[in-house]
Structure formats: structure tokens, C-alpha cells
């Protein structure tokens, strides 16, 4: 190979490695910067979560949550202190005002992404947390405002957790663990804890969902038995403790004969009682725009050969709903007119 060819190859290699924006070194530096930012944001979320639980994070809890060595966790703590995001008091880590603002931004992004992935992308609920965690570091406050508006300004994520506003305000009540709820007292599921993931997957596999009305039939050290009036759910106490419930408002109690629209027999007219609490944001707005409001009369009119979607007549219009959509609309069957 001639000297000129060698020079040309070296020049090309230098461009590939040292090009200011697209070179390998620039890409490595960019990756490290992004990874460091994500690590800081994950740490801030951990501190915020601990503070909402009434306790405080420590270097040890931070290391465990982020999968770091204690030495790496201490370096991260020192870096965050230097940025004015946290304060160290003994072995406790406290968020500063700036740290809390940043943590709430990330939490807002995570829960809005979960709402989008569940409602619009139709992603299985057991997968939305991981994907939202991957995306939560990407958006600016202005972009989050746009996402929130596009979703219809939802107030809770698919697990029932409140979504912070742009100003960082949100309700922190999470309900009472069903393992501590009085037996035979009606309650509404307001939160399904998605960690640990295995317990959450068991709740979903059992058919439990946000907004569902249940009663505790039995509670022993070996099992907790719940009923929604039609089905019984037998759970290990460790799994059941991930279900949080709240009293059922008197004016929102469903009539004894209420059932999901998806279960309404062909030709049977019914009155819409309510939309399920799990219906939030853009999906809820779409239902309302279609005329699926409490008090409206609806009945199945056409049956798809494959069973899904199904056609319903409401307010003079024919609409198609998938089974999973119709299951979120509660109706009261009407007596046939004579």
C-alpha cells in the first residue's frame, strides 16, 4: 500500500473517531452524559419515593435500588450534592427544592408515558412500567405539557397513582391495603402496586383491575379471598397487600343488576350507569364524544362473526367497540317495553 493510501486511510479514521458531533469519541461522551443524567434522575425518584413513604433514602438504599456498589453510590451522592439537588444529614439523604422539582418532573413523565402506553399504544399493563422508565428521561417540560394535553389531562396512571401537574401538585392518598380492610365491607380498588413485578402480574392474571368493587370474604395467614359479586379471587397475603382500596362513595355504588356492556345479551337494551374509573384521559373523552354518557340507552345491534368488535346503537348512531372497551362501561339492563 502506497504512503498516499496510508495517509488517506489515517485521515478517514481520524474523521470517524474525532469528528466533533458524529465521531466515535463524541458519541461515547454523549452516551456517558445521557447515562449520568439518567442515573441522577433515577436517584432523585428513589429519594422522592422514600419521602412520600414518610422516610428518607440512604447511600445503602440508593446503591440497592440503582444496582451500584457503595463506592459508586457515594460518588453519585457527592455529585448530586455539588449540583444542589440533595443534602446529607447523617446517613439520611434529603431532596432540596431544586431536587424535588426535578424528581417530580421525572415522575410526571413516567406516569404520563404509562398512561399513553396503556391507552393509546395498547401495551399490556405488565410491560408499561419498564417501557415508561426507558422513556421518562427524554422529554422537556414543554413536551410533557403537549403529551398531557394530547392524553386529555389524565389525573392518574394505569395503576392508580396520581400524576403530578406541571407545578408539582398531586394527591398523595393511595388508599388502604386490602389486607387491612374490614371483612365484608364494600371497597373500590384505587391502586395496584406494580412492584414487585411478579406480584403485579399475578393480580392482572387473576383479573383484578383498577376501579373494581370488591369485598373481603376471608383473610387468614395463608390466603385472602376477595369477591366482586360474580367471581372470587384467592390470593397469597403477600400478593394481596399490593391491592389498595378506598370506601365506595354512596352515590357511585353500582346497582345490584349492573354489568359490563360487553356482557349485555344481544338485543337487550340497557341504561349506562357509569364509565369505569380505569377509563382516563383521551379514552374517556372519546367515549363521551360517542355519546356513552350516564343515562344514555344502549343495546347491541350487530354481532361480528368473530365476536370482536361488536356494534352498539346509542343515541341513534351505530358504533363499534372492542370487548375490552365495552367491559369498561357499566350498564343496567332495562325491562322490555310492551
What is the rounded distance in angstroms from the CA atom of residue 322 to the CA atom of residue 3? 70
With CA atoms as reference, report the closest residue to 111 among 75, 147, 68, 161: 161
The pLDDT assigned to 104 comes to 95
- Burial (Cβ within 10 Å: 0-12, 13-18, ≥19) of residue 73: buried
Are 58 and 91 contacting, i.e. CB atoms less than 8 angstroms apart? yes
- Burial (Cβ within 10 Å: 0-12, 13-18, ≥19) of residue 30: exposed
The pLDDT assigned to 4 comes to 66
Burial 98-132 (b: 16+ CB within 10 A, else e): ebbebbbbbbbbbbbbbbbbbbeeebebbebbeeb
Sign of CA dihedral 311, 313, 318, 324: negative
Residue with cell 370506601: 247
Structure pTM? Answer: 0.75
With CA atoms as reference, report the closest residue to 65 among 55, 73, 77, 56: 73
Residue ranges of domains in the chain, CATH in brackets:
6-95 (1.10.10.10), 99-150 (1.10.60), 176-252 (2.30.30.90), 259-333 (2.30.30.90)
Kindly state the cell numbers that stand for 174.
Answer: 393511595
CB atoms within 10 A of CB 37: 11
The pLDDT assigned to 169 comes to 85
What does the pLDDT profile of the chain (338 residues) look like in tens digits?
566 665 666 555 555 655 566 555 555 555 566 688 999 999 999 999 999 888 999 999 999 999 999 999 999 999 999 999 999 998 999 999 999 999 999 999 999 999 999 888 889 989 999 999 999 998 999 999 999 988 888 888 998 899 999 888 877 667 899 999 998 888 999 999 988 889 999 999 999 988 888 999 999 999 999 998 889 999 999 999 999 999 977 655 666 688 899 989 888 999 999 888 777 777 888 898 899 999 999 989 876 666 678 999 999 899 999 888 898 899 999 987 55
278: DSSP letter: T
Are 106 and 73 contacting, i.e. CB atoms less than 8 angstroms apart? no
CB atoms within 10 A of CB 278: 22
With CA atoms as reference, report the closest residue to 332 among 268, 292, 272: 272
What is the rounded distance in angstroms from the CA atom of residue 65 to the CA atom of residue 284? 35
Beta-carbon contacts of residue 301 (< 8 Å; ≥ 6 apart): 311, 312, 313, 318
Amino acid at each position: 500500500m502506497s504512503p498516499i493510501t496510508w495517509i488517506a486511510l489515517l485521515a478517514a479514521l481520524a474523521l470517524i473517531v474525532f469528528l466533533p458531533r458524529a465521531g466515535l469519541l463524541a458519541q461515547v461522551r454523549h452516551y456517558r452524559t445521557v447515562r449520568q443524567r439518567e442515573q441522577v434522575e433515577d436517584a432523585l425518584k428513589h429519594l422522592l419515593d422514600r419521602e412520600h413513604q414518610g422516610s428518607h433514602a440512604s447511600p445503602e438504599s440508593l446503591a440497592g435500588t440503582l444496582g451500584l456498589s457503595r463506592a459508586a453510590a457515594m460518588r453519585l451522592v457527592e455529585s448530586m450534592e455539588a449540583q444542589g439537588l440533595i443534602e446529607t444529614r447523617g446517613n439520611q439523604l434529603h431532596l432540596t427544592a431544586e431536587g424535588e422539582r426535578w424528581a417530580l418532573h421525572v415522575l410526571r413523565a413516567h406516569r404520563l408515558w404509562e398512561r399513553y402506553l396503556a391507552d393509546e399504544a395498547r401495551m399490556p399493563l405488565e410491560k408499561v412500567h419498564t417501557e415508561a422508565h426507558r422513556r421518562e428521561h427524554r422529554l422537556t417540560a414543554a413536551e410533557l405539557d403537549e403529551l398531557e394535553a394530547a392524553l386529555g389531562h389524565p389525573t392518574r396512571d394505569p395503576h392508580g397513582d396520581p400524576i403530578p401537574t406541571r407545578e408539582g401538585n398531586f394527591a398523595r392518598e393511595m388508599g388502604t391495603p386490602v389486607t387491612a380492610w374490614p371483612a365484608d365491607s364494600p371497597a373500590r380498588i384505587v391502586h395496584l402496586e406494580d412492584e414487585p413485578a411478579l406480584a403485579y402480574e399475578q393480580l392482572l392474571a387473576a383479573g383484578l383491575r383498577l376501579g373494581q368493587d370488591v369485598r373481603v370474604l376471608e383473610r387468614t395467614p395463608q390466603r385472602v379471598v376477595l369477591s366482586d359479586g360474580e367471581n372470587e379471587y384467592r390470593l397469597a397475603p403477600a400478593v394481596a397487600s399490593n391491592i389498595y382500596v378506598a370506601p365506595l362513595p354512596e352515590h357511585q355504588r353500582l346497582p345490584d343488576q349492573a354489568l359490563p356492556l360487553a356482557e349485555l345479551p344481544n338485543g337487550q337494551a340497557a341504561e349506562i350507569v357509569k364509565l369505569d374509573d380505569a377509563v382516563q384521559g383521551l379514552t374517556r373523552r372519546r367515549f363521551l364524544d360517542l355519546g356513552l354518557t350516564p343515562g344514555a340507552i344502549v343495546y347491541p345491534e350487530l354481532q361480528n362473526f368473530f365476536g370482536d368488535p361488536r356494534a352498539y346503537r346509542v343515541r341513534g348512531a351505530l358504533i363499534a367497540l372492542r370487548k375490552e372497551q365495552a367491559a369498561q362501561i357499566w350498564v343496567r339492563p332495562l325491562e322490555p317495553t310492551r
